[in-house]
Amino acid sequence: MLPKRVKSIIVLSLIGSVTVMIVAYTSPSLSKEWTMKMKYALSVAAAAVLAIGWTGCGSDSNDSKSVKSITFAPLALSANDTEKQQMRVSSKMTVTYSDDSTEEYPLAYKTLAKMGDTIGSGTMGLMVDKNGNPLKKSDGSNDISDGPDGNSFIKVGGKYRLITHLEERPGQLMNTEINVENNELVPVETAPVDLAAVGGTIINCASSKTPYGSHLGGEEDYSLNTRYADKNSPFYVDCALDGSSTDVGGEFNYFCNYVDQQAKYLLDTNIDKNNGYNGDSFSPYNYGYIVEVQPQADGTTKSAKHYVTGKYTPELATMMPDQKTVYMSDDGTFKGLWKFVSDSKISGFEANWSGTLYAAKVNQTSAANGGAFDVSWIELGHSSDNDLKTMIESKMKLTDIFEIAAPGDGNSCDTGFKYIAEDSAGECLKLKTGMETAAAFLETRKYAAYKDATIEFRKEEGMTYDKDRNVLYISMSAVEKSMEDNYKGMEAVNDIHLPKESCGAVYELTLDENYSGTKMEAIVVGKTLADTDANAAEWYCDPEGISNPDNITYIGHNTVLISEDTTKHVNNMSWAYNTQTKTMTRVASLPIGAEVTGVDVATAGSKGMIFLNAQHPFKDNPKNRAGDKPNTALIENATQEQLKAFIGYIDGMPSKLFN
- Report the interface residues with another protein, using CB under 8 A: 14-15, 17-18, 21-22, 37, 40-41, 44-45, 80, 82, 136-144, 146, 222-223, 244-246, 248-252, 254, 257, 331-333, 458-459, 477-478, 567, 616, 619, 621, 623, 626-629, 632-633, 635-638
Shortest separation between residue 455's beta carbon and another protein, angstroms: 16
Closest to another protein by CB, 324 vs 459, is: 459
Closest to another protein by CB, 311 vs 568, is: 568
Closest to another protein by CB, 126 vs 317, is: 126
The CA distances from residue 510 to 21, 319, 380, 458, 577, in Å, are 56, 15, 21, 20, 17
Closest to another protein by CB, 29 vs 66, is: 29
CB 504 within 8 A of CB 457: no
**For 368-386, b where at least 16 C-beta lie within 10 A, e where not — what string?**
eebbbbebebbebbbbbbe
Closest to another protein by CB, 169 vs 311, is: 169
Shortest separation between residue 582's beta carbon and another protein, angstroms: 27
Closest to another protein by CB, 183 vs 621, is: 621
Shortest separation between residue 290's beta carbon and another protein, angstroms: 20
**What span, in angstroms and rounded, lies between the C-alpha atoms of 594 and 205?**
15
Closest to another protein by CB, 368 vs 626, is: 626
Closest to another protein by CB, 21 vs 30, is: 21
Closest to another protein by CB, 255 vs 554, is: 255
Closest to another protein by CB, 431 vs 529, is: 529
CB atoms within 10 A of CB 161: 23
Give the phi and the psi of residue 20 in degrees, each rounded to 5: -60, -45
DSSP result, 232-255: TSTT---B--SSSSBBTTS-B-HH
Shortest separation between residue 404's beta carbon and another protein, angstroms: 22
Shortest separation between residue 132's beta carbon and another protein, angstroms: 17
Q: What is the gyration radius of the CA atoms in the chain, in angstroms?
A: 25
Shortest separation between residue 164's beta carbon and another protein, angstroms: 18
Shortest separation between residue 83's beta carbon and another protein, angstroms: 8
Residue 161: partners with Cβ closer than 8 Å, 6 or more residues away = 153, 154, 155, 175, 176, 177, 178, 295
The CA distances from residue 509 to 212, 230, 284, 374, 592, in Å, are 23, 37, 32, 10, 32
Shortest separation between residue 478's beta carbon and another protein, angstroms: 7
CB atoms within 10 A of CB 118: 13
CB 334 within 8 A of CB 455: yes
Shortest separation between residue 504's beta carbon and another protein, angstroms: 11
What does the DSSP 8-state code read for residue 479?
B
For helices 2-25 and 32-53, give the axis angle rounded to 10 degrees.
170
CB 240 within 8 A of CB 246: yes
**What span, in angstroms and rounded, lies between the C-alpha atoms of 421 and 413?**
12
Closest to another protein by CB, 136 vs 467, is: 136
Shortest separation between residue 589's beta carbon and another protein, angstroms: 15
**What span, in angstroms and rounded, lies between the C-alpha atoms of 603 and 611?**
10
Strands (E), 321-480: 325-328, 333-335, 338-342, 354-366, 372-384, 402-405, 418-422, 425-431, 457-458, 460-466, 471-476
Closest to another protein by CB, 444 vs 566, is: 566
Shortest separation between residue 128's beta carbon and another protein, angstroms: 13
Closest to another protein by CB, 43 vs 366, is: 43
Shortest separation between residue 481's beta carbon and another protein, angstroms: 8
Shortest separation between residue 251's beta carbon and another protein, angstroms: 4
Bridge partners, residue 208, by sequence: 216
What does the DSSP 8-state code read for residue 500?
P
Give the phi and the psi of residue 24 in degrees, each rounded to 5: -60, -35
CB atoms within 10 A of CB 403: 16
CB atoms within 10 A of CB 619: 15
